[in-house]
Amino acid sequence: MNKRTLWIQTWLLTLLLCVSTMVAGAERIKDLASIAGVRDNQLSGYGLVVGLDGTGDQTTQTPFTVQSIINMLGNMGVTIPPGTRLQLRNVAAVMVTATLPPFSRPGQQIDVTVSSIGNANSLRGGTLIMTPLKGADGQIYAMAQGNLLVGGAGAAAGGAAQTINHLAAGRIPRGATVERAVPSGLGHSDYIVLELNDTDFGTARRVVDAINLATTDGMAHALDGRSIQVRAPLDPSDRVAFIGKIENLMVTPEQQAARVIVNARTGSVVMNQRVTLQNVAVAHGNLTVTIGTDVAVAQPPPFAGGDTVVIEQGTVDIDQGEGTLFNIPASANLADVVRALNAIGASPMDLVSILQAMRAAGALRAELEVI
């Protein structure tokens, strides 16, 4: 094998490795961005669940349940005599919520979630009565009705009770029928706009380059670090095929900035692979404060005429503990960072304070975000 052949094989192997690395880090535009105007819409409504086995609302504490029953029966032609006290243990007032997918058409069915808003013990075995679901504009977009599926169980006897999972909420698969379609402006313009999930000017530039390379130069251009405007065909059938082609283009996004997320309530610490450390020394020690009370009895001398009294004396003990100075070397990858932080032996809550101090000292090369 001559040197020329060996050089060509080496070059091809290097090119193959580079392409494999790029493909491994590449993502579809569908996963990086969404189309403006194509989104879900939230629906909600107030309804009643009937057929419960004595586990419904206590009507003395939830008067709105009784009022709802009276209104419903009145609409059905049933008149309740004034002053009648209804004891309804098989009925529960609920809130019904659903998500209306984009391009939903009348007649399609969607799932709904039913949640108790009163003091019902369980919705298991109940049936939701026809409930209109409204959008943010107050218009009715779907009607919900059906038997609830509650993923739990409960039993009580002799003063003892046992509950498995949550019984005050359930779902009705395909329990709502779409009655009104949400207007879409996707086909009313010469352009479509892609909106990146995360604002990044570098990723926006790469998406524009990928679209122009796959179609025609100048077909797409970035409006800002999040929005990309793309010229699309006017014919609806051609536009659908064009969008499907665009969404499946592979793009390698820019690497995200180094970031450490700290949950101050739970002590959870999450960091991405871009986090690095500079050489730093950390001293970590435990401070223990103990507060107690000593009880003493004061006895008067004989024939002094005094009373025996109890005296309480407070004690405070502070234990600084052994503090050790750790020399943490500079780390260029996430594994070294985690290994260095574990060497300190700090608890998650102590680690939050240490990370904040390291960030203030300039040793932590990352954005520190506390949630």
- The reply to whether 169 and 192 lie within a common domain is no
The answer to whether the CB of 329 falls within 8 A of the CB of 279 is: yes
Query: Is 9 inside any structural domain?
Result: no
The answer to whether the CB of 270 falls within 8 A of the CB of 368 is: no
Query: Is 346 inside any structural domain?
Result: yes
The predicted pLDDT at position 207 comes to 92
Q: What is the pTM of this model?
A: 0.65
- The reply to whether 128 and 217 lie within a common domain is no
DSSP 3-state of 371: coil
Rounded Cα distance between 159 and 179, Å, is 47
Query: Is 3 inside any structural domain?
Result: no
Rounded Cα distance between 364 and 371, Å, is 18
- The reply to whether 113 and 169 lie within a common domain is yes
Question: What domain count does the chain have?
Answer: 3
Query: Is 23 inside any structural domain?
Result: no
- The reply to whether 100 and 146 lie within a common domain is yes
Residues in the chain: 371
The predicted pLDDT at position 12 comes to 53
Domain limit, last residue, from 233, 251, 269: 251
- The reply to whether 195 and 123 lie within a common domain is no
- The reply to whether 246 and 135 lie within a common domain is no
Rounded Cα distance between 149 and 164, Å, is 14
Query: Is 219 inside any structural domain?
Result: yes
The predicted pLDDT at position 17 comes to 44
Query: Is 13 inside any structural domain?
Result: no
Query: Is 192 inside any structural domain?
Result: yes
- The reply to whether 69 and 140 lie within a common domain is yes
- The reply to whether 56 and 170 lie within a common domain is yes
Q: What are phi and psi of 158, to 5 degrees?
A: 60, 30
Domain limit, last residue, from 251, 268, 287: 251
Q: Is 172 exposed, middle or buried (0-12, 13-18, 19+ CB in 10 A)?
A: buried
Range of the domain at 170: 41-74+87-150+165-178
Q: Would you write out the chain's pLDDT as a tens digit for each of its 371 residues?
A: 555 565 555 555 554 444 444 444 688 988 889 898 888 999 999 999 999 988 888 877 888 888 888 888 888 888 888 777 777 889 999 999 999 999 899 999 999 999 999 888 889 989 999 999 999 999 999 999 999 998 766 555 555 555 666 788 999 999 999 999 988 777 677 888 999 988 889 899 999 999 999 888 888 999 998 999 999 888 877 888 888 899 999 998 887 778 888 777 777 778 777 787 777 777 766 545 455 556 666 777 776 666 777 676 656 565 555 556 566 677 666 667 767 767 766 666 777 777 778 788 888 788 888 77
Q: What burial letters (b/e) apply to 287-313, b meaning 16+ CB within 10 Å?
A: eeeeeeeeeeeeeeeeeeeeeeeeeee
- The reply to whether 131 and 215 lie within a common domain is no
Q: What are phi and psi of 62, to 5 degrees?
A: -125, 75
Query: Is 293 inside any structural domain?
Result: yes
- The reply to whether 66 and 170 lie within a common domain is yes
Domain limit, last residue, from 251, 286, 304: 251
- The reply to whether 203 and 246 lie within a common domain is yes
- The reply to whether 265 and 345 lie within a common domain is yes
The predicted pLDDT at position 303 comes to 66
